[in-house]
Structure 1
């Protein structure tokens, strides 16, 4: 299991602070928000669309397929904003108890600043797409509110890592794809570069927190982490996106969940974070059924 000492914690934070100073971006400057969309380009790589390869996909015109991916990327961005807002609340609550002279504390504030810019960037992209704002509601919204106000330790960092690393994997492919709209590629590129620091910070902090947690605490945390995995796997693509191309949410969800291409995409997107959380023994136990239902585990 990975271990992180207090001195390692400070050294990592110092490096991340330096990297933040050298490699941070202002989406207001870096992105041409007024540029028209490119005719014929998708908003996610077409083979990553939840309906790719299904009978419903074959029934859609090329323009409808592009429109579907526009709503899918909006759904992914909406979930990203939702998780980032939770993370910012958790980080600022943690910082309130920390020594402000320490590099680790200062990096927490730096990450909050990054996440503020990312949330504005995702919000501007959704507005530019002209789609609804897709985000969790109902019981998922209630659970998010609870996590934002109570989460600490392993369940805090593991839950956030699940969302961050899945988005990172999807965006790394999107930013390099010539099939994808330039706007989405640039948003993805900025997020990937800056999110790499956040993932490093969260991974090391998670390993440190686990060492301090008791067995009973970890059993409960595994349930919360499993629920976060279930939410991310099941709601990355909001069922309402299918209405944009004349498909009912229920029909779209059935087709996506039965679609081997989409199931493989979700396993692929979760591969890195699943491997890391498995190494830390955070998958299984009381949260095993939720992980299985999430669609993120390997076959």
Structure 2
């Protein structure tokens, strides 16, 4: 049976429907200092996605002639499906693969925004609430920034994949703080940091490189919030409680990984270059049985 698993008062919660509990006059004087440093650092990594002094989305990039990202990052590179594509088709597939990834990141940022806001409704500690509100503000600028990038490069983002959508919906709707923190601050934010670092190092579009650089300055602090929870909570869990957290986290991770690499989740991408997703899936399965290709693909796509 799932419970709150509260082991430290800074992560104590109220029922999301019990707003009067947050009006308790004694609560205001019990603000924890656990998050003061990361709250104070907010000003040090401020940036405005609508200010060209920080990032200029109007810089051009030829989407038909140039690879937006290193094609080695495409899961299908080196497979039979990839081998039969001409150069123009490979560029198109690579850039659509990037669109899929960046659309997923955009949806993830919206999930992080909504989740951070939801934490404000349940965290009892005023300091923890202030941190969550700060993160919501930062996630909001990520939504603005990635939405703008996708808009200038492709127009509309791609719809969210079923796997990622299911995870985000569970995290945002969950009444349990530990699920929100483990799922978002540790797993999803960790995934985002890996993606940003990968694109920062291997994207060919200077605007995307700059965007990922700016986003990483925020995400490191978001991940820190989860680490504080882990340091204060995990050592105090019973074996049964630890199993609950670990089993759920493993299941969540597998779902996120499925969204990242499974061709079925990317049907729309393959369709745009005339490839049946089942053919792509079969080709990928054949490729990863080859030790050399499996090693190269692991190096190129493992952002965890």
Which interval holds the TM-score relative to the shorter structure? 0.7 to 0.9
Is the counterpart of residue 59 in structure 1 residue 84 in structure 2?
A: yes
Match among 168, 171, 179 for residue 155 of structure 1? 179
How big is the alpha-carbon RMSD for the aligned residues of Structure 1 and Structure 2? 2.9
CA distance in 1 between partners of 2:69 and 2:181 (Å):
27
Q: Residue 147 and residue 262 in structure 1: after superposition, are their counterparts in 2 closer, same or farther (change >3 A)?
A: same
The corresponding residue for 1:166 is 191
TM, length-normalised to structure 2:
0.74
The corresponding residue for 2:297 is 262
Deviations 1:39-92 (A, max 9, x none): 644222221111222232232223322222222222222222333333333332
Further displaced range: 211-220 or 22-31? 211-220
Is the counterpart of residue 239 in structure 1 residue 295 in structure 2?
A: no
CA distance in 2 between partners of 1:191 and 1:78 (Å):
15
CA distance in 2 between partners of 1:10 and 1:180 (Å):
44
Higher radius of gyration, 1 or 2: 2
CA distance in 2 between partners of 1:209 and 1:254 (Å):
43
Match among 84, 92, 108 for residue 109 of structure 2? 84
Q: Residue 222 and residue 101 in structure 1: after superposition, are their counterparts in 2 closer, same or farther (change >3 A)?
A: closer
TM, length-normalised to structure 1:
0.75
Summarize the alignment of residues 1-299 of structure 1 with structure 2, pairs less than 5 Å apart.
13-29=35-51, 30-38=54-62, 40-98=65-123, 101-102=126-127, 104-130=128-154, 132-137=157-162, 141-150=165-174, 152-160=176-184, 161-177=186-202, 180-211=204-235, 213-237=237-261, 238-240=265-267, 241-257=269-285, 258-259=287-288, 260=294, 261-266=296-301, 268-270=302-304
Could you tell me which runs of 5 or more consecutive residues in structure 1 were left unpaired when the two chains were aligned: 271-299
Deviations 1:246-265 (A, max 9, x none): 21122223334544233444
Q: How many aligned positions are there?
A: 262
